[in-house]
Amino acid sequence: MDADGCVLDVGRTARRATRRQRRAILTRYTHCMVDHCPMPAHLCQIDHITNWSDGGTTDLDNLGPTCQFHNRDRYRNPAHYQLHQVGKNRWGFTYTSPRNQRN
């Protein structure tokens, strides 16, 4: 719940983040979740860390900001992104180039 007592986790009942969830996410993140991406969080889309199509929930701990490019690229090429935790309640993705994976 947020400070007004509104529920912030909606599980599988809704795919899109609510306005209150977006506001809460913007207090956690300053930029796109992908390492070194300069896109400010307020200009990003709210993305599911575990994709909705893979059973991910629309809960705060499974949501974060990604720019449009990284949102689409991560969905199309999930093997190129490695998830890591940042602090207590934030996540980040490290892009791993396919060229680096051949070594």
Cα end-to-end distance, the chain, whole Å: 46
Query: Binding-site residue total for Zn ion (CB under 5 A)?
Result: 6
Which is closer to Zn ion, CB of 10 or CB of 75? 75
Please report how close the Cβ of residue 4 comes to Zn ion at its closest, in angstroms.
30
Stretch in the footprint of Zn ion (CB under 5 A) among 13-21, 56-64, 68-76, 89-97 = 68-76
H or E element that contains 86: strand 81-86
**How far is residue 68's CA from residue 74's CA, in Å, rounded to a whole number?**
10
Binding mask 25-44 toward Zn ion (x if CB under 5 A, else -) reads -------x-x--x-x-----
